[in-house]
Each structure stands twice: as C-alpha cells, then as structure tokens.
Amino acid sequence: MPTFPPSDQISLAWAGGLLQVAGATDVGSVRRINQDAYGHFHDAERGESLFVVADGLGGHRGGEVASRMAIEALCQRIGEGDESPPIRLARAISIANQEILARSRKDRTLDGMGTTIVCLLLVANGRSYVAHVGDSRLYRVRLGQIDGITEDHSLVAALVREGVLSLADARSDPRRNQVLRALGMRDDVEIEVAPLLPMPGDLYLLCSDGLHGLIEDPEILRIIASQSEPEPGVAALLSAANHAGGNDNITCLIASLSENTKLPMFRFRMTRFVTFIRSLLKKARS
C-alpha cells in the first residue's frame, strides 16, 4: 500500500544496507491551505523504492486535489507491467496527467488545476531514475557536497539558462512562481526522465519550491549535515523555511542510503576503475 503523510521515519533493508526515509509537509506561515503532497512506495519483490513530491497549482481546492491525485496515481501505477523502470515511471506520470485532466474537465470547481512532480525511483538491482515536471527539485548530498539533480521547468530558470537573468535576480523575480510545465495542463505533457547512479552513503532530498525558493543550496546542505537522521533533518528544513518567511507550502522528503549499501552499478564502476588503475601500474612498471 502507498504510504501517505504524516509519516514518521522508516528504515528498510535495501541493497544489503539500510534505506532511511522521512518526509513532512507544512502549510507555511502565510497560506491557509497546503497544496503540496508527498508519498513513497516500496516494492520489496522488485527491489524498487519510489519517492514523490508534488506541488499543486490552481485556486479553490484544485491544487490540493491535483497533487494528491498525482501521488496516489504514481504510487499505484509504478508497479504495473513488466517494462523497464524508466518506461513504467514515465507511463505512471502520464497516467497521473490524464487522470488529473479528466477530473478537472468533469468537475468545474477543479477547472485549471495542476501539479508539479518530482520522482526518485531507487532500483537496488540496476540503474535508478529521476523524473520531473515543473519546479519541484531533487538534490543529492554526497561526500559533503550538495548538487541539484533536476533543472526547473520554470520561466526564471529558462531565462537564467538563456543568460537573460542572473541567478541572484531570479530568486527575487516576481515571475519566479511561473512553471512552464505541470501535470493537468495538456494531454501531451513533457516528462523529463534521467538515469541516476546512486552510491553508498548518498542522501537524496525531494522538495517543493517552498523550501528551495527561500533557502539557498549551501544552507540546505548545512541543515542536513547538522542532523544525524533524516527525520530531524526534514523538521529542521521546514522550520528554516518558516523562519525565512514561509510564504509558500513547504515539503521535504529525504531518502538516505547507508554506507554499507551494495549497488551493482557502483560495484561495476569500481571494478572498471580498479582494472584501469592496475593497467596503468602495469604500464608504468614495464
């Protein structure tokens, strides 16, 4: 069964190690309703874990309904079929898009609702994947460094890429909430799916713009690094965003891999690396 909020920290045996998960969402300090949602789903048989954050758009209850529908559809559909993980992931997102569209066309009070989505699919026996639509993000913390893995599908991000806007100006630009892609907007939604190569000890953070719009990446890293467990980490991030104004709903979901995790791709790359070093040493000796 899909896991929905509120969720306490959970620990799962995963790829010979431990996968620790904690998520939380908060309405923030200004808004009256929370249109964000998150969920995670674990398929022990396939050795797959799916993590999703969605940020709903649209007035009335629209955004709230859209983000919840997206989480539900994703967690239910990811396990359907025998295709490869990226195909199942893209199809599940596409089905969520269709369901949200159909619902908003049927119910006029939900007209125009939509949602961003960011998904991390960790696969114990193969390549992992990230998929997103909109400006909810995936970050990776590895060896004391933080990296943004997704590129926002937003107007300001596009202007920054084109060199029209500086990164600093983008943070305060009045158009910073304008997303260029979202589920529930059109039939042929463009989904960005990319492979990912997790390493033992990696920590992944999925979040809505209620966090990354207020807290800069180095500060996100500092907060995460100051906590030994994902659950207080998530709580500290929510609290920091609220202290910084909390002008939007805030959602954070952390998935953390223990150091003793055994990932096949990592082993493969290490083997190749060791072979490469050996061949260099051999050459140097001859």
> Which residues contribute to the site for Ca ion (CB under 5 A)?
55, 208-209, 248
What's the min distance (Å) between Cβ of 152 and Ca ion? Answer: 12
What's the min distance (Å) between Cβ of 254 and Ca ion? Answer: 19
- Closer by beta carbon to Ca ion, 64 or else 248: 248
**Residue 233 dihedral angles phi and psi, to the nearest 5°:** -65, -45
What's the min distance (Å) between Cβ of 237 and Ca ion? Answer: 15
- Closer by beta carbon to Ca ion, 55 or else 202: 55
Q: What angle do CA 216, 116, 215 make, to 5 degrees?
A: 10
- Closer by beta carbon to Ca ion, 37 or else 122: 37
What's the min distance (Å) between Cβ of 214 and Ca ion? Answer: 11
- Closer by beta carbon to Ca ion, 56 or else 198: 56
What's the min distance (Å) between Cβ of 114 and Ca ion? Answer: 12
Which residue bears the tokens 């304008």? 178
What's the min distance (Å) between Cβ of 253 and Ca ion? Answer: 15
| Long-range contact set of residues 105-111: C-beta below 8 Å, sequence gap at least 24 | 109/60, 109/61, 109/62, 110/58, 110/60, 110/61, 110/62, 110/65, 110/66, 111/62
CB within 8 Å of 1: residues ≥ 6 apart: none
- Closer by beta carbon to Ca ion, 55 or else 99: 55
- Closer by beta carbon to Ca ion, 86 or else 246: 246
Q: What angle do CA 197, 198, 203 make, to 5 degrees?
A: 145
Q: Is 203 left (phi over 0), alpha (psi -120 to 50) or beta?
A: beta
